[in-house]
Structure 1
Amino acid sequence: MLYRVEGIVIRSMDYGEGNKIITICTENAGKVGVLVRGAKKVKSRHAALTQLFTTAEYVFFRNVTGLGTLNSGEISSSHHVLRQDIVLAAYASYACELLDRVLQDEETGSFWYHQLKACLDALEEGKDPGITINLYEMKILQTAGYGPELLSCISCGRDLSEEDSNVAVSPRLGGVLCRSCKHMDPPALKISPKSLKLLRLFARLDLRRMGHVDVKEETKAELKAVMRAFMDMQLGLNLKSQSFLDQMEKYGL
């Protein structure tokens, strides 16, 4: 059967002497694997279609299930800027690997597709990569069914003000704790009113509507720590791209 889909390359691997297998997150057909014959050859007309982060229309033959075989494709955005910058490439790779690990084969991927596309576009447009990724992580958590409770105490249900300086975040329990309920999770992370306000904004904001934001470094560090804790506790993924990002931070890149 012939398929024609809009998709983003989230994984690309060599196969045999001259071929590649790409995994694409599609707008309407979920996550699919496609064999691209001859993609490693110097004069291959399909080589560009196998590059990570590439957004294109892919036409491939495929049985009901299993691997497809590329027939043709037309690139709409190569995102070459992301591949040329080591820092942007690291963030974009993390976004792709995260989605690859969370999204199941054949799972309807329209929302996932649009959030990833918006994430890559934001990185390429020069928007703050840390904030962009934190917002993207929030969308991943919410869509996977692990979105944190940020408006009221996860234990007693009391509504919490954004100005409350005694709020803690419990990744283990999946939300915020008021001062009276902090004992429910002693390792819960203290969070500033500014960071809580931004987390609540992340929870209700679509990545496609993200503008340029100016966030202080200490607030970004706090947001990163909180989101990392949520990702580790709720999803528990061991991602190579995350390890590389950690190494970059360690060496000040």
Structure 2
Amino acid sequence: MPTPPRTLSVEAVVLRHSDWGEADRVLVLFTREQGKVRALAKGARKMLSRKAGHLEPFTHVKVLLAQGKDFWIVTQAETLNAFLSIRADLLRTAYAALVIELLDRFTSDDGENPALFQLLVHTLSRIATLEDPFIAVQYYHLRLLDLTGFRPQLFTCLRCGKEIQPENQFFDYQEGGVICPRCAPQVPTAKGISLNTLKYLRHLQRSTFEAAQRAQPSPAERNEMETILEGYFTYLLERRLNTPHFLNEIRREIAAQR
């Protein structure tokens, strides 16, 4: 069998970190080449550390890793994009935290996924630069579901198989998609979804981002989109996400200031 590499040069996004010992940090990185990996940044908590500024959450970096006893060891780090506008704005920070939490929850240390890495980098860039990142985040949600094997069925009823008609429908988390009004009485867990919200979800699911960002859902439709997708994520992950509460708190603070 081939000998595992002793060093790795990878492109990564820092998902999170935690303190280790007196001065070190353990990083969770999502890399283009290896998927999710854990690495130790020695001395990263020291005041004069050259690595610390490159290894904050949300940062897109190039890192050189050396094989250690328990972890990969970060020997070099270079920032490719710090996404500074995310850190300077609480609403953007909340959106980015949601994106990172979802990717962290849906992935394990089981190998590369270049398409998911590219989606992550593009989404962070969109959150950093777009005036309103809402559509970029919902687009990410649906692409993440595609790339992790949980694509919801939005075009035909999961019970009878018939094409969805232009009327209000139902969505069931357990079934993984839309249930038509005729079949919904047989599915007590199905939740109502308006026709317009379903149209927006279908549009985002089948469009390029350039086409998707032309969508202009109303405030009520935005709320319904988030509720449906958050409920689906909660069912798939078997636990609630932490960041939607933070995101809603920031929105309430912004609304109160207007």
- For the 8 Å contact 2:200–2:215, the answer to whether it is kept is no
Partner in structure 1 of residue 7 of structure 2: 2
Partner in structure 2 of residue 151 of structure 1: 155
Normalising by structure 1, what TM-score? Answer: 0.90
Distance 1:185 1:127 in 2: 40
Which segment is superposed worse, 6-15 or 166-175? 166-175
Q: Does 1:92 align with 2:96?
A: yes
3-state SS of paired residue (2:111): coil
Distance 1:142 1:235 in 2: 15
Pairwise CA RMSD of aligned residues? 2.1
The alpha carbon displacement at 1:106 in A equals 3.2
The alpha carbon displacement at 1:66 in A equals 4.5
Structure 2 residue ranges without an equivalent (≥5): 1-5
What one-letter code is carried by the residue in structure 2 that aligns with 1:225?
Answer: T
Q: Does 1:74 align with 2:59?
A: no
- For the 8 Å contact 1:119–1:207, the answer to whether it is kept is no
3-state SS of paired residue (2:205): helix
What one-letter code is carried by the residue in structure 2 that aligns with 1:216?
Answer: S
Normalising by structure 2, what TM-score? Answer: 0.88
Distance 2:75 2:208 in 1: 34
Partner in structure 1 of residue 48 of structure 2: 43
Equivalent residues in 2 for 1:179-190, closer than 5 Å: 179-190=181-192
Which fold has the larger relative contact order, with Cα–Cα distance below 8 Å and residues 6 or more apart in sequence?
A: 1
1:121 to 122, 125, 134: 125
- For the 8 Å contact 2:10–2:32, the answer to whether it is kept is yes
- In structure 2, the CA distance between the partners of 1:213 and 1:149, relative to structure 1 (3 Å rule), is closer
- In structure 2, the CA distance between the partners of 1:120 and 1:234, relative to structure 1 (3 Å rule), is same
Partner in structure 1 of residue 3 of structure 2: none
1:204-237 Cα distance to aligned partner (Å, 9 max, x none): 2455875464322111111111111211122223
Equivalent residues in 2 for 1:1-253, closer than 5 Å: 1-62=6-67, 66-161=70-165, 164-205=166-207, 211=213, 213-249=215-251
What one-letter code is carried by the residue in structure 2 that aligns with 1:3?
Answer: L
3-state SS of paired residue (1:88): helix
Percent identity, aligned pairs only?
Answer: 26
- For the 8 Å contact 1:53–1:79, the answer to whether it is kept is yes
The alpha carbon displacement at 1:152 in A equals 0.4
1:39-97 Cα distance to aligned partner (Å, 9 max, x none): 1122211111211110011101015x951111112211001211121121111112112
Distance 1:236 1:177 in 2: 22
